[in-house]
A and B are shown apart, each in its own frame.
Chain A
Amino acid sequence: MFGLALKMLFGDASKYLMLVAGLFIATFLIVQQSSVFCGLMTWTTATLKNVGAPIFVVEEQVSQINETIPLRDTDVARVRSVDAVRWAMPLYSGIQRVRVSDGSFKTIQLLGIDAASFAGAPTRMIKGNLADLRLPNTVVIDTLAVQRLSVDPKHPIDIGSVFEINDLEARVVGICEAMRSFTGGPFVWTAYERALQYTPASRKMLSAVIAAPIDGMTAEQTAAAIEKQTGLKAFVNHGFGENPKDFNTSTIWWYVRNTGIPISFGTTVIVGFIVGTAIACQTFYAFVLDNIKHLGALKAMGMSNFRLSLMLLFQSFTVGLIGFGIGLLATSGFAFGAMENGQPPFVMPWVIPVAAFAVTQFICMIAALLGILRLSLYEPAMVFRA
């Protein structure tokens, strides 16, 4: 019987294609747009990923990593004085301008880290030696910076190249892999003291204190202890989740609340859903109408409404599955392109395809329901009226 249903479905090539196309569009738009959205949101936490410290201590009013209210220098010592802290190091993070050798200006995300311990240093060095960061006027740049700051693509900047940050010389001693930032500026690491020299002076310069919990304590417990003892705000850095004391979560929610990004992407996702639903329902309904004579004949010949409904459901389920699969195929093509290129942002948690599957199946169920409704209105006796 399910074989019969499948054959009826595949037999009508144009409607089958239409149905698959509708669900393909829905799947592709939902998965791709959600993933780009997630990618973009992940970019907002790039500093957290690139500075892989378990705990970030920031000013009380700060709720996201890209907006920094500077702390006082002695706050490092205050955080260090908390019993639950194993180590604490200063971190400078700010957007600065770089003058490249052809005279043009580029924006970068400057990170200043403790040059003794290299706490907050990039984890994936491609070239060069991190220890060289202790030399005067040295920086470590990421691969995006190589692209952005190179004047001649044939001779990209490399170890030993020199550019200027706010008119001060910066010599490249290392190239690393890093996650891209939301602002699009490449990441440039330097020693904390040097970062302060590169940056125009202001009253307070310390962006954050990064810290680690002592053995036997979780980051959360330590963060709570830091907050209690210093009055500063301490965030843990595990990754986006339900914990509001996680800097990733806090940062992403800040962007969701304060920017139009979710609305823009949400609209596209909803459009995908609506278009998918419209195409699928319309086509499936037409499919049922086309076959109503045969379905009616089956009904007359003793096939129960229940089994006919099952057939229709099975058909829509199959179409949904295939449309979904092809949608995933297209999305993965996009994903590989994006990952190769580094942009647009693409991060797909497993929830997205699962949710998209549920949504496409929901669309299919609606379509099938319409068909079932139409079929139930069809009396078997109508078969006799040619």
Chain B
Amino acid sequence: MSEARPTDSRNAILGKLRAGRDAHPLTPPESDFTVLRDKRWAPSERLDRIKTMMEAVHTEFLETTEADWPTAVQDFLKAQGTRTLLYGTATEAGQRIAAAWADGGPDLVPYDGPVETFKERLFDGIDAGITTTLGAIADTGSLIVWPTPEEPRLMSLVPHMHVALLHADQLYDTFWQAMTENRWADGMPTNALLISGPSKTADIEQTLAYGVHGPKRLVVVVIR
């Protein structure tokens, strides 16, 4: 037996909506996206704005270069006392970390099986997770993250610290521009995310507290 109700409700609902609309059609005003299209920052200002906005919600930034970032991240995590780092073995970034960290640093934990085989470890004992990003948005100070089989969804959520790699040449002005320029509507991934800081809440008397369910820290590694 199908768990869905028979199609009665579907047809009844759609029928009522159609009858209601056809009796009183509605002509909506034109959607004018100019306000989003024209929202621009000079390329040199974008990163500063992203930093300012994200730092205001407790995001940390690490500046480095394409050549140096694996060791810069390693040094940073060592200094933080990070013991374990969840990473994607199959990404270029993951391979560079593995190669560069051969001589020590936090233990690298691959996310290489389905979460069902890995849940306990994931929730109990991983200090940090590292992911790539598809860039960042100046308007709101947000990272664009599209999880993949190599960098699964929970990598940026469950470990106490999320380390995100951001290429300084992948900056957009607004969410709308990022989405339309890259034609997201032609094919959305399983999960697309904007991440604008570490997890937070203000549900107790509007007092901000960081790290409620997701990461307590978000570290953006800016690669120039």
Q: Do A and B come from one complex?
A: no
